[in-house]
Amino acid sequence: MTHSECQAIAAEVPSWNARFQSAPPQKILAWATEQWGKHMALSCSFSGPAGMVLLDMVATIAPATAIFYIDTGLLFRETYELAARVQERYGLRIRVARPAQSVAEQAKAEEEALWSRDPERCCRLRKVLPLAEALAPYDAWVTGVRRGSASTRSATQVVEWSKKYNLVKLNPLAFWSEQDVWRYIHAHNVPYNPLLDLGYHSIGCHTCTQLPTTDDPRSGRWAGFGKTECGLHVEPA
Ligand code: SF4
61 lies in some domain: yes
Between CA 28 and CA 138 the distance in angstroms is 18
70: helix, strand or coil: strand
With 80 as the cut, is the pLDDT of residue 215 above it? no
- Cα distance between residue 169 and residue 158, in whole Å: 8
Task: Provide the domain count of the chain.
Answer: 1
230 is catalytic: yes
Using a pLDDT cut of 70, give the percent of the chain over it.
Answer: 100
Q: Does residue 162 lie in a domain region?
A: yes
Distance (Å, whole) CA 232 – CA 141: 12
Residue whose CB lies within 8 A of the most ligand 1 atoms, among 120, 202, 208, 222, for a mutation test: 208
Which atom of ligand 1 sits closest to the CA of residue 208?
2
User: Which residue range forms the structural domain that includes residue 10?
Assistant: 3-208
Mean pLDDT of the chain: 93
Is 191 a domain residue? Answer: yes
pLDDT in tens, 9-39: 999 999 999 999 999 999 999 999 999 999 9
Structural domain contains residue 80: yes
- pLDDT tens per residue, range 96-126: 999 999 999 999 999 899 999 999 999 999 9
Within 10 angstroms of residue 94's Cβ, the number of other Cβ atoms is: 17
Q: Is 232 inside any structural domain?
A: no
Rounded average pLDDT over 32-55: 96
Residue nearest to atom 5 of ligand 1 (CA): 123
- The CATH number for 81's domain is 3.40.50.620
pLDDT value for 192:
98
Asked whether residue 227 is domain-assigned, the answer is no
The reply to whether 236 falls in a domain is: no
Sign for the CA dihedral angle at 45, 132, 209, 205 comes to positive
230 is a domain residue = no
